[in-house]
Amino acid sequence: MASKITKISLIGIGGAGCNTINRLSDIKHGEIPYINTVAICTDKTMLSQCKAKTNILIGEKITEGRGSGGEPEIGERAAKEGEAAIKEAIKDSDFVLITAGFGGGTGSGASSVAAQIAKELGILTIVVYTMPFEFEGQEKLNIARQAAYNISKIADAYLPIDNERMFRIIPKDISSIDAYSLIDDITWNLIKCILFSTMTNTDRKMSLELNMTDIETVLKNSGKFFFGTGTSSIKEGAMLAYKKAVNNPFIDYSIENATRLIVHINCNENVRLKEISAILDSIKEKASEKAIILKDCSFGKRSDILVSIIASFD
């Protein structure tokens, strides 16, 4: 089979979205070279520091590059003004992942416009967003809720991450950058899972069990979805990585009653078949009786085991 790489665009919107792209560029540089990164922001200064492949300043006529002032209506109008540039930056993509922090004006207002543009281009469109911390106040929460509602009407699938929930489970002395990095890891692992599951690249030793159609089976028009990853050493066994993945502490729902699932196991060849079958048995037990369960193993040089699960619901 010819080498075919899924073209993924990661779009970071607003301050939080730009930060995510920057942190991922810092840490993950070179790990996956062919991901298209696009930053969209109303704040010129913020954008000038962003390391995305394409930086798009939106709403310059309205805001003069000074941000949305916390107003989602401005974020939305700004994104509409930037429609042509957004379209140009993502038009060749097979898959778009939008990331933003909801609660401010830009991410909350512009995300649904960007999602709409991607959808109209016929691209599978997924959104990972955060809900604000309690200490940010009721107004930001209301803005975020409205943005979440808007996105649920447009995106194929979305993953809400509650900052407050994260705040309750992480060590209290962690820096805010490290805390946000934990959320970025979810986004990054999701991208890796999609990419590894769909690539038929001959220089990696892949089992070629899934393709983009399978990803669509699970994520197209599916609404809220579940995603989790976990790692373990070969000695600890794949089951531990699986348990960490299904118990993703940042998400307040589980794979219980999921109707479409992808389980992706990334490991070296020392992982035993019976470990993989035990994982599948456990998933079958938790998911809906009628669930479609798609499995993919990719065997690389890694010394640990990475299990990722994407699940959606009817």
Ligand X SMILES: Nc1nc2c(ncn2[C@@H]2O[C@H](COP(=O)(O)OP(=O)(O)OP(=O)(O)O)[C@@H](O)[C@H]2O)c(=O)[nH]1
Kindly state the smallest distance separating residue 42's Cβ from Mg ion, in Å.
7
Q: Residue 70 or residue 237: which is nearer to Mg ion going by CB? A: 70
- Residues of this chain that bind ligand X (CB under 6 A): 14-16, 19-20, 42, 67-68, 70, 101, 103-107, 130, 132-133, 136, 140, 163, 180, 183
Residue closer to Mg ion by CB (options 15, 228) is 15
**Only segment of 13-21, 53-61, 72-80, 83-91 that touches Mg ion (CB under 5 A):** 13-21
- Closer CB to ligand X, residue 107 or residue 255? 107
CB of 15 to ligand X, least distance (A): 3
Nearest distance from C-beta of residue 14 to Mg ion, angstroms:
5
273's CB contacts (< 8 A; 6+ apart) are none
Smaller CB separation from Mg ion, 40 or 258: 40
Q: How far is the CB of 101 from ligand X (least distance, A)?
A: 2
Q: Does 15 bind Mg ion (CB under 5 A)?
A: yes
Name the 3-class secondary structure at 166: helix
Q: What letter would DSSP give residue 106?
A: H
By beta-carbon distance, which residue lies closest to ligand X? 101
> Least distance from C-beta 41 to ligand X, angstroms?
7
Asked if 198 and 6 touch (Cβ cutoff 8 Å), the reply is yes
By beta-carbon proximity to Mg ion, the closer residue of 46 and 199 is 46
Q: Of 66 and 205, which has the nearer Cβ to ligand X?
A: 66
Piece of the chain touching Mg ion by CB under 5 A; list 12-20, 54-62, 192-200, 263-271:
12-20
What residue is closest to Mg ion based on CB? 15
Strands 95-101 and 8-13: parallel
Least separation, in Å, of the C-beta of 269 and ligand X? 36
Specify whether the CB–CB gap between 254 and 285 falls below 8 A. no
Hey, what are 198's tokens? 């769909």
103 is a contact residue toward Mg ion (CB under 5 A): no
- Which partner from the list Mg ion, ligand X, none does 68 bind, CB cut-off 5 to 8 Å by kind? ligand X
Estimate to the nearest angstrom the gap between the alpha carbon of 245 and the chain centroid: 15
Residue 259 beta carbon to ligand X: minimum distance, rounded to whole angstroms = 29
Report in angstroms how near the CB of residue 81 gets to Mg ion at its nearest. 17
Residue (of 302, 270, 265) closest to 283 by Cα position:
265
Token representation of residue 313: 């619901």
Instruction: Give 41 or 90: the residue with its C-beta nearer to ligand X.
Output: 41
Look at residues 239, 289, 247 and name the one whose alpha carbon lies nearest to residue 265.
239
Q: How much of the chain is helix, strand and coil, in % rounded to 5?
A: 45, 25, 30
Identify each DSSP E strand in the chain by its residue range: 8-13, 36-41, 54-57, 95-101, 124-131, 157-162, 223-233, 260-267, 292-299, 304-312
For ligand X, which is the closer residue by CB, 42 or 266?
42
Buried b (16+ CB within 10 A) or exposed e, 87-123: eebbeebbbbbbbbbbbbbbbbbbbbbbbbbbeeeeb
Span of 8-16, 163-171, 234-242, 273-281 interacting with Mg ion by CB under 5 A: 8-16
Residues that bind Mg ion (CB under 5 A): 15
